[in-house]
């Protein structure tokens, strides 16, 4: 049920019913889509690829004549798109010029827990944090954002978020669009509400958190994209704090889904609707004919028959997202008709290899009946383990579930095999109301009994309320005995 939890204070009843948002046909598309600058960093003398990120305050003019107080990395809103190759050693010098402590978490990255940028790696104002690690995972669209305990929603909503693209030779050899800003375009989608003087209004929340009535894509309000190629790769990131989108094109065209959170799918999946809950990514290839115009939209997610359940996610809301305008002549696509028939071969994790099983319950805006405590370790995982996590959403509300350090595979959703779009590597998965998912994951490379990783609902207000737990990875045989904490192993 909704659970008798004090966390419900502050919810505005009017947001639960009525008040439907519908911007379809009402958006003017009069601003060119901004594309975050690509940042390849620099190589230092030892061959480490070094990036500089400064979290800073500023103002941004989303609407003509209105200055919105915002935060950003190296700019007033959002941050550069970092890019590095698999196998490279990287370092990011993150300077905090905000008036309060923050952190920067590398969402989807496999890396040591002390470099992860969760709540245990705070960056005090006017200091610099310099995590370093070696990238060892397939080409993927990852992202970075703050993760300070209890303040994640506020920091992300003000604009602190950016993409981190991993490249590898296997992906580079495929005939796919990859000319950044030309035929390979990131779309960072966020819903906002503005006050009459142009500030972000984040004071009103429904059950899932703050739902906006206006979309920003890469920080652009009412964006259009001039398409110059027959095939365009769109890297969609739902960087909203609470809202789940079902993306589709106004003309119902079929696109090719080529990658999910952790990288390429085995083969393209033809799709007309792409569902992304907060934190999830999808890469799609869209085909154009010269001179045409189409619109990317978000239509209400189908959450089943209960309208009141749907309304808790702003379920009836529709948005125009982006207008795409194809030029009269287009650069030919590298691959015909859409994308290569084979993309990669994903190593399947097998249930027969599972060494530990856990059951994790989301209810009452808590996990397993507890809200997150910085000094409590909830799960102890042995290095090298293959684990099966059964995650149950017991509420009449949508949630999602994100695990740090690993990419997992979805074994089932509500008892059924996952749909093909969930057939690849994932780090965040949508959990419809009253549903159970089974996830399989392997914990390689990094053990540190003193530095926890997080698992949590990525609806950021829920996360901030404590819908989050901590796990440590330890050397085999160094299980619970060495760890301080209550231990929630099931
Ligand atoms: Cu994108 Cu724990 O976060
Ligand atoms: Cu949640």
Ligand 1 atom, smallest distance to 118 CA: 2
Token digits for 157?
A: 């909503």
Query: What integer pLDDT is reported at residue 317 of this predicted model?
Result: 87
To the nearest 10°, report the CA torsion of 147, 153, 155, 156.
Answer: 90
Query: What integer pLDDT is reported at residue 308 of this predicted model?
Result: 59
Contacts of 14 (CB under 8 A, 6+ apart): none
Ligand 1 atom, smallest distance to 107 CA: 1
CA 389 to ligand 1 centroid distance, Å: 18
CA 466 to ligand 2 centroid distance, Å: 10
User: Which ligand is nearest the CA of 401, by number?
Assistant: 2
Residue in 145, 55, 136 with CA at minimum distance from that of residue 98:
55
Query: What integer pLDDT is reported at residue 303 of this predicted model?
Result: 57
**Complex ipTM > 0.95:** yes
Tens digit of each residue's pLDDT (9 = 90 or more) over 4-26: 333 333 444 334 444 688 899 99
Other Cβ atoms less than 10 A from the Cβ of 162: the count is 26
Give mean pLDDT, residues 30-55: 98
Other Cβ atoms less than 10 A from the Cβ of 419: the count is 12
Other Cβ atoms less than 10 A from the Cβ of 336: the count is 11
pTM for the full predicted model? 0.94
Query: What integer pLDDT is reported at residue 306 of this predicted model?
Result: 56
Query: What integer pLDDT is reported at residue 18 of this predicted model?
Result: 47
CA 397 to ligand 2 centroid distance, Å: 8
**Any ligand 1 atom below 6 A from CB of 147:** yes
Query: Which residue segments constitute the domains of the chain, with CATH numbers given?
Result: 33-167 (2.60.40.420), 184-331 (2.60.40.420), 351-482 (2.60.40.420)
Query: What integer pLDDT is reported at residue 203 of this predicted model?
Result: 73
Other Cβ atoms less than 10 A from the Cβ of 207: the count is 24
Mean residue pLDDT of the chain comes to 91
Query: What integer pLDDT is reported at residue 333 of this predicted model?
Result: 87
Tens digit of each residue's pLDDT (9 = 90 or more) over 179-214: 999 999 999 999 999 999 999 997 778 888 999 999
- Worst-scoring range by mean pLDDT, 1-5, 205-209, 337-341, 344-348? 1-5
Tens digit of each residue's pLDDT (9 = 90 or more) over 247-256: 999 999 999 9
Query: What integer pLDDT is reported at residue 204 of this predicted model?
Result: 77
Residue nearest to ligand 1 atom 1, measured at CA: 107
Q: How many Å apart are CA 415 and CA 437, to the nearest integer?
A: 7
Residue in 202, 281, 223 with CA at minimum distance from that of residue 247:
281
Q: How many Å apart are CA 399 and CA 381, to the nearest integer?
A: 24
CA 364 to ligand 2 centroid distance, Å: 10
**Any ligand 1 atom below 6 A from CB of 404:** yes
- Give ion ligand 2 contacts, CB < 5 A: 399, 457, 459, 462
Give mean pLDDT, residues 114-126: 98
Tens digit of each residue's pLDDT (9 = 90 or more) over 294-322: 999 998 766 554 555 655 666 678 999 99
Sheet strands side by side (includes 81-85) = 38-39, 81-85, 162-167, 140-145, 105-107
Token digits for 436?
A: 């159970």
């Amino acid at each position: 049920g909704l659970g008798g939890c004090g966390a419900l204070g502050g919810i505005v009843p009017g947001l639960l019913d009525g008040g439907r948002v519908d911007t379809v046909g009402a958006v003017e598309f009069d601003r060119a889509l901004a594309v975050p600058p690509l940042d390849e960093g620099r190589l230092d003398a030892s061959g480490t690829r070094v990036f500089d990120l400064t979290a800073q305050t500023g103002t941004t003019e989303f609407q003509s004549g209105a200055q919105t107080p915002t935060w950003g990395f190296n700019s007033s809103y959002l941050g550069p798109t970092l890019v590095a190759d698999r196998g490279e050693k990287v370092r990011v010098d993150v300077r905090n010029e905000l008036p309060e402590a923050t952190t920067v978490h590398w969402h989807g990255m496999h890396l040591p827990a002390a470099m992860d940028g969760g709540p245990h790696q705070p960056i005090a104002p006017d200091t610099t944090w310099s995590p370093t690690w070696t990238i060892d995972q397939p080409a993927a669209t990852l992202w970075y954002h703050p993760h300070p305990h209890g303040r994640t929603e506020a920091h992300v909503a003000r604009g602190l978020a950016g993409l981190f693209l991993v490249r590898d030779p296997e992906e580079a050899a495929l005939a796919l669009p990859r000319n950044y800003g030309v035929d390979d375009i990131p779309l960072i989608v966020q819903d906002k509400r503005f006050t009459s003087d142009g500030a972000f209004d984040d004071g009103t929340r429904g059950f899932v958190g703050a739902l906006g009535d206006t979309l920003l894509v890469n920080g652009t309000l009412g964006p259009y994209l001039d398409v110059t190629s027959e095939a365009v790769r769109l890297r969609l990131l739902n960087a909203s704090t609470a809202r789940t989108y079902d993306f589709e094109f106004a003309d119902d065209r079929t696109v090719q889904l080529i990658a999910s959170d952790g990288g390429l799918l085995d083969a393209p999946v033809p799709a007309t609707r792409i569902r992304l809950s907060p934190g999830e990514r999808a890469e799609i290839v869209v085909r154009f004919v010269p001179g045409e115009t189409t619109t990317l939209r978000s239509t209400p997610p189908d959450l089943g028959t209960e309208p009141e359940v749907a309304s808790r996610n702003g379920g009836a809301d529709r948005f125009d997202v982006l207008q795409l305008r194809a030029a009269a002549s287009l650069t030919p696509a590298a691959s015909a008709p859409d994308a290569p028939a084979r993309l990669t071969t994903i190593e399947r994790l097998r249930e027969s290899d599972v060494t530990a099983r856990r059951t994790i319950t989301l209810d009452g805006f808590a996990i397993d009946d507890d809200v997150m405590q910085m000094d409590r370790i909830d799960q102890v995982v042995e290095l090298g383990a293959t684990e099966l996590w059964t995650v149950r959403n017991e509420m009449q509300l949508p949630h999602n579930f994100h695990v740090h350090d690993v990419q997992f595979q979805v074994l089932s959703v509500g008892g059924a095999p996952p749909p093909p779009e969930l057939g690849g590597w994932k780090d965040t998965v949508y959990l419809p109301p009253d549903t159970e998912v089974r996830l399989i994951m392997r914990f390689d490379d990094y053990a540190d009994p003193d530095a926890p990783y997080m698992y949590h609902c990525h609806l950021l207000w829920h996360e901030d309320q404590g819908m989050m737990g901590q796990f440590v990875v330890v050397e085999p045989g160094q299980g619970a005995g060495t760890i301080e904490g209550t231990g929630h192993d099931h």
